[in-house]
A and B are shown apart, each in its own frame.
Chain A
Amino acid sequence: MDKLNNIIEKVREHQRIDIDEGLALFRQADFLTLARLADQKRFHLHPDKMVSYVVDRNINYTNICASGCRFCAFFFFFYQGQGRGYIISKQDLFDKIQETIDLGGTQILLQGGMHPDLGIDYYVDLLGYIKENFDIHIHGFSPPEIDFIAKKSSLSISETLSILKKAGLDSIPGGGAEILCDDVRQKVSPNKCSSAEWLEVMRQAHGLGMRSSATMMFGHLEKEFHVFEHMDKIRTLQDETHGFTAFIPWTFQPDNTKISVKKKTGVEYLRILAMSRLFLDNIDNIQASWVTQGDKIAQTALFFGANDMGSTMIEENVVASAGVDFMLSKEELTRLITMAGFEPRQRDCYYHLL
């Protein structure tokens, strides 16, 4: 008990805690104590009673993917034959972006599968086409995609990022991190980049002046300590680069996937969310995941360390294909924030309020 109190004291004095201390706090602290500590940390970093959100659209340029991750219900593994796979047409892309802008959107989240036939030229053309036609922020290509494009085109990570940046890529989403421990990755996404490669993409991107988010998908085959190892790796890189804008933990959605586990409950999500606010002392923003948790837990998350509601997600396909289809309009998103006693503020990708 004394040990727990010492950790609590440390957290309240804004001292950094290590993996063991994080684990002890996570395992022993009462649910509402964790909430209060995370809430205090959140207000220490963001004293104003505001909660931000972004208006954007998730555009999946292809659902054909060579990765075949066992936790995925969306992407179409490339050698399974033809029929359900697609690559987005320029007309569709144009219409989707135009609609996003018409709805007050400021960015698109451009992600796809690791399509075995697409090299860097495809991506350069894609980015160029968007930038020629629209003034919109492109948040695109998570590290596994960057890594895949680099290998496919025999380029270094740094060359790949430079080329994409020049073609119009503005920032990198933190997806594909799953759990940054290779023993877990071997089990759930053996064909995806390693944890070191994921981190290297982010290091290089930050070095080129591109910002990124970081995510964590938990609730599959990881153990508790993996969660903290994951956060520790993110925190260490952030000390070096200061390139991460936000951390977004979410829970694995087991429906239609090859991993058979019980779905994490709301309380388990909120405990991890609170721990991420406490552990990641060098990351400004923690995002609630209404896409995986639903509106009620997402609103509750605002009292468990989250200061951002994420995106209105004009379109979301990946999580929806794993059996979750919560939808929130901008009006509903801002109502949730207001009803929780906060002022809703639309932001851009850099968390600047608009």
Chain B
Amino acid sequence: MKKLPPELDMSVSTFTDKRLKSIFLNVLNGSRLSREDGICIYETHDLIGLGQMANHVRRSLHGNKAFYIYNQHLNYTNICKNRCRFCAYARDRKEKGAYAWSIEEIEKRLLDRIDEPVKELHIVGGLNVDLKFEYFIDLLKTVKRVRPEATIKAFTSVEIDYLSNLAGLSLEETIQRLKDAGLEMMPGGGAEVLNSRIHKELFPKKIGHERWLEIVRAVHQAGIKTNATMLYGHIETIEERVDHLVTLRELQDETGGFSAFIPLAFHSENTQLSHIPPTTAMDDLKNVAAARLMLDNFDHIKAYWVMIGEKLAQVALSFGADDLDGTIIEERITHMAGAKSAIGLTKDQMVNMITKAGFVPVERDSFYHPIN
């Protein structure tokens, strides 16, 4: 066994869960962690030990830097035919509060904030049968025209699958058309937990994990980077979480197309699963740390403050996260499910959070290039 430098030796000697020691030695030796290691990471109560391990990896990749982006969310419709049980956002067409933005409305929303230095547009919505494929092409082109300097990060795999059916085109052809219209990157949503039991129970109408992976693979092959996510804190087991991470890690080995991983804390309010209590900090921090330790081929782990709150997202920077995502004005989806976080954060607030946590704030573009 390799001898550890003194500062690491001190961390290891204070682990209260001794199982973490062999896991950490594997991390330090650059050996990939196993499924069993992943389960142990989720089981342990040694939160600080876990943080020390994940922080070590995070710092060796990114040093003192902590990234954020100035972005804007556009949720173009909440009308969705999937009606997943964990969702508080979706509406039926005739239901109160249902909406679909016209292209003109989208342009207006962009123009309303045209004086702000928005670097990325995050665009996702429901599967709305009233919208034609041309709408999506038009949407992308409009955004690109109004905001030529911002990156368009749009559509989850679920939407891509839907659009391919809607257009009657192959997956590859669909992606190409969207790319030609301005699509540059894809978010990581819709993966939920890559597992058939959970698929059947919670989101039976949505694409399953084989199709999700197939689409992401095709998107990566088309030269488009995506993120990856995991929705945790509902009915999934620890083993299912670890399997999810291992599946993503394998696909990343194959394509190298994932940019960041984002653990998403389930919010149950106003959903069909409202009996499930919210995730706690212990679980939120563990998911960040587990991701950092298991996903050795992912560059970035995000602490999504909308879901875990601003205060804990700041703490998560020392538990493996290197990115706080965006300033995000107008977050809708999680807030419909009872999120208590702010609707948006200013750049000042973001910089203050990062600095006060002892990190150096780096404003980035969608591809992690620093903005001067």
Contact = CB atoms under 8 A, between A and B. Distances in A.
A339 B280 contact: yes
Contacts of A156: none
A266 B352 CA distance: 12
A340 B282 contact: yes
For the complex, would chain B's binding face be called helix, strand, loop or mixed by DSSP majority?
helix
A266 B312 contact: yes
Given A31-B358, A36-B14, A262-B352, A299 B281 contact: yes
Contacts of A341: 45, 282
B285 A300 contact: yes
Contact of B357 (A31, A36, A332): A31
A297 B280 CA distance: 10
B228 to A, nearest CB: 24
Nearest to A12: B14
Contacts of A293: 311
Nearest to A340: B282
Contacts of A300: 47, 281-282, 285, 312, 315
A294 interface: yes
B318 interface: yes
Contacts of A264: 356
Interface residues of B, number: 30
B103 interface: no
A267 interface: yes
B356 A336 contact: no
Nearest to A31: B318
B314 A267 contact: yes
A296 B52 contact: no
Interface in A244-269: 262, 264-268
A32 B356 contact: no
A267 B45 CA distance: 20
A340 B284 CA distance: 11
B288 to A, nearest CB: 12
A93 to B, nearest CB: 32
B309 interface: yes
A308 interface: no
Interface in B293-323: 308-312, 314-315, 318
A145 interface: no
Nearest to A331: B277
Contacts of B309: 294, 296
Interface residues of A, number: 28
B105 interface: no
B314 A303 contact: no
Contact of B55 (A32, A296, A332): A32
A119 to B, nearest CB: 43
A215 interface: no
Contacts of A297: 281, 311-312, 315
B48 interface: yes
For the complex, would chain A's binding face be called helix, strand, loop or mixed by DSSP majority?
helix
Contacts of A295: 280-281
A270 interface: yes
A189 interface: no
Contact of A267 (B52, B280, B340, B356): B356
Contacts of A36: 11, 14, 48, 52
B127 interface: no
A303 B48 contact: yes
A308 B318 CA distance: 24
A339 B45 CA distance: 9
Interface in B258-279: 277
Interface in B95-137: none
Nearest to A43: B16
B52 A299 contact: no
A296 B319 CA distance: 14
B314 A296 contact: no
B308 A296 contact: yes
A39 B285 CA distance: 17
A339 B312 contact: no
Contact of A339 (B51, B55, B282, B311): B282
B311 A296 contact: yes
A268 B318 CA distance: 13
B242 interface: no
B357 A267 contact: yes
Interface in A54-105: none
B353 interface: yes
Contacts of A30: 358
B311 A266 contact: yes
Given A36-B48, A36-B52, A262-B352, A299 B318 contact: no
Given A36-B48, A299-B280, A303-B48, 16 more contacts: A30-B358, A31-B357, A32-B11, A32-B52, A264-B356, A265-B353, A267-B315, A267-B357, A294-B309, A295-B281, A297-B311, A300-B312, A332-B277, A339-B283, A340-B282, A341-B45
15 contacts: A30-B358, A32-B318, A265-B311, A265-B314, A265-B356, A265-B357, A266-B310, A293-B311, A295-B280, A296-B309, A297-B312, A300-B285, A303-B47, A335-B280, A339-B283
Interface of B: 11, 14, 16, 45, 47-48, 51-52, 55, 277, 280-285, 308-312, 314-315, 318, 340, 352-353, 356-358
Interface of A: 30-32, 35-36, 39-40, 262, 264-268, 270, 293-297, 299-300, 303, 332, 335-336, 339-341
